[in-house]
Structure 1
């Protein structure tokens, strides 16, 4: 995708452990490569432990800042990587919930992959939306009154004034990253 996102600011939020490595690093690298300024924020700041296949510890990635004190007004889009531990920890964090809700309320792009939609559920923003996710999250999304769940590499839903982008697994990252870039370009 030939995209210039100069001037666009993207926030990627994670916990400090259990983040699926490629679901953090591939969007971060792709969006920076498109010209966006990307900030990685964690709950506690400092290092974030990535994993492979959800259990095997991989590399540590130093975050840029903590979630506390950040505002949706500072960014154009929000990205939520998966990893079951990451998503389960983020969904319980009040700052993560506050940020997701603020991005949605402001009509900005929110993108979540794999188990990342769990965070959307706890922020209360999935009702009436059509999403995809890792298959085991499907029932949770439907119970949270999402309009529908689809098995697709990427699903973009523009209902209620904001853009929601979801994907299933690391295999879907090229389509996920392209959809985020396109949404930012059109914003």
Structure 2
């Protein structure tokens, strides 16, 4: 039915026009100007009174990470823990080698005379080298690429193997740290961090 239909019960009576300023029944009103929230789009808004959507961003995980993931940061901290243990180990083995050398002259420590001090010095040097390797890896975690990731994986695996043999009793902490470093660097977060583009 239309407004002009005489049988339209919602329309204005015949012969009468709706007063100016007030639309008749069934006539669409003009949207109020400057009053948001009436269901009419305002300038800079989408329809139905809702503001326009912000620009679409990439979903989480869709792009390269811009900050170091937590697991990769944890692996870096573990490398620094290993550095600390290696410094302590180097000092202990060097002190032991010096003590054994001096004890050989004392008759009370004749049992130590046959102990090879060269082995103690060798272990001290190995501990020092291992600590330096861990420190270099930890420093380069922020800027390193795929090559550093592979090197850190090798370091973690070798640390775990050496912790099992020959340093079984003293190597439990190194065993746990080595496994965790290899896992954290080798997982998807580690891959995304070390393969991220560098500009």
Which TM class, normalised by the smaller chain length?
A: under 0.3
> How does the TM-score come out when normalised to structure 1?
0.22
- Larger radius of gyration between Structure 1 and Structure 2: 2
